[in-house]
Chains A and B, each alone.
Chain A
């Protein structure tokens, strides 16, 4: 169990760094409410970005991005609204992104970032 959780945490850390490098500002991480959890909440110019991070150590169970179903996309969008309510801020636009990280045997990560899925 610990291995898997470590991998997830490491992936989220890398994803947050990646988003900051690409010019986005990370506002929140692992924000929880009754409806679930948001991995990363960031701002891309005037757009609020709710970001789901999926990390895998192999393709045995499919690619990391495939794990985000339509239902999950809808839930992420609802969670983004919850976050806005909870923080009392306003945004012109809300976007749901998915970041997939794949770790190879040597321990290197490959990052795939899909913008605006749901």
Chain B
């Protein structure tokens, strides 16, 4: 059989595309020609595959081999095609029966000794295979758990090429490397997503002396509102931000698969139990580049921090220290919930619907306000420092909370009032539930996602509730867009309080959160 055909998956962003791998063996001088827009890592596959096949004690065809990857116009990157190319060559040489490779997608990098090595992005690859109608996916053993998260595929996992070939030939497992067959989509017992208590970790009750900031975190979690924390060093900004994921409900199955896919492409999945069900928390350092935040990179396009924080929290500590272009680059994901990276020949899309949490010191010296602290920043310097945040970014932040330095007495007295994360998480879950019921039949799930025009149509607040906002608008404190922003928060406050619609109390509170101010 001179031509054999297998399937592999090319990833563009987190979307997988089915690639047909054809191997043709013709008379001619021995050699392997790889065509179909391969990148350097894939071009090197020629030498890797040859060594792997020979070291697997298989016969390397001493003739002219042409391997074509189609569609040829799609750029193909990385080493994940090794396994499919090797199997296609052996099938073309007649060493593997054609029936056995029918309807199988092969994913995996080959070691020179014939080992099957794990590759990033196996979860979206398996999902793409299933969506294209392939029933079986052969993956390296280390990726088996990840691939088996996809419902409707049968996962064959092997540690080595000889083990996989043995299974393809006669369906038997070799004793040295048994092939495991797992039916995808069956969630292992005890790790059901959605429910379950949040794991042990930092607790909201640890953030003492900042009751309003804790409340702001709760509001942000309940409505998905972006949050800005302003305060002197040591007041607990970072501490509070780290505790917000515990307030959020666990991800449902669809969201968990989405989040896990992104982390899979980034190669950032934990080995044990790869399904991520806890909302991710991503805290890039302020020296991070634009590509590190929104994604990019030469060659393989990797998701950035904004995408790794999808359905979770993106925490920018010392936000004014971030590069201007980095902060500006966040506008697209904040607006559309996804990052689009265009390159010659392809456009990669990464979902990036995150809750933004900014933390900033009130002034660049970071000594805190007050005469005794030793801060010598002039008002102009302080204004300029925070102005780096204003405009595009701060305009989209609905909840602003200011931290004040706390005395020892306040810390002690607050200990009696600080609620544990679990208590607050229950209120957040109830508020989200109420919002979800109200938004049933709309594309939105959280108050923060409701477009402004809907507030004058479907979601009108109670009579008279708009008065505080209208007065603020007359005074020039808030723009028309700001009114919509405050209304979103007001709806969340109503959800948290169990009210059918926000009243004047909620809109006043929301206005206060929008304007920010001392806690």
Contacts and interface: CB of A to CB of B under 8 A. Distances in A.
Interface of A: 63, 65-66, 68, 73, 98, 112, 114-115, 117
Interface size class of B (residues with CB under 8 A): under 10
Nearest to B30: A66
B463 interface: no
Interface of B: 27-30, 62
Given A63-B62, A66-B62, 13 more contacts: A65-B29, A65-B30, A65-B62, A66-B29, A66-B30, A68-B29, A73-B29, A112-B62, A114-B28, A114-B29, A115-B27, A117-B28, A117-B29
A6 B117 CA distance: 46
B198 to A, nearest CB: 60
Contacts of B27: 114-115
B33 to A, nearest CB: 11
8 contacts: A65-B29, A66-B29, A66-B30, A68-B29, A112-B62, A114-B27, A115-B27, A117-B28
Nearest to A63: B62
Contacts of B28: 114, 117
Nearest to A59: B62
Main secondary structure of the interface of A (DSSP, over half): mixed
Contacts of A63: 30, 62
Main secondary structure of the interface of B (DSSP, over half): loop
A98 B30 CA distance: 11
A116 to B, nearest CB: 8
A68 B27 CA distance: 15
A73 B29 CA distance: 10
A73 B64 CA distance: 15
Nearest 6 CB-CB pairs, A to B? A63-B62, A66-B30, A117-B29, A65-B30, A65-B29, A68-B29
Contacts of A112: 62
A63 B30 CA distance: 9
Contacts of B62: 63, 65-66, 112
Nearest to B60: A63
Nearest to A100: B62
Contacts of A65: 29-30, 62
A55 to B, nearest CB: 15
A112 B28 CA distance: 10
A100 to B, nearest CB: 9
A98 B29 CA distance: 8
B62 to A, nearest CB: 5
A4 to B, nearest CB: 22
Nearest to A69: B29
A98 B62 CA distance: 13
Nearest to A118: B29
Contacts of A66: 29-30, 62
Nearest to B29: A117
A117 B31 CA distance: 12
Contacts of B30: 63, 65-66
Contacts of B29: 65-66, 68, 73, 98, 114, 117
Nearest to A62: B30
A36 B312 CA distance: 70
Contacts of A115: 27
A63 B29 CA distance: 10
A114 B28 CA distance: 6
A54 to B, nearest CB: 11
Most buried by A among B29, B30, B62: B29
Contacts of A114: 27-29
Contacts of A73: 29
A73 B62 CA distance: 17
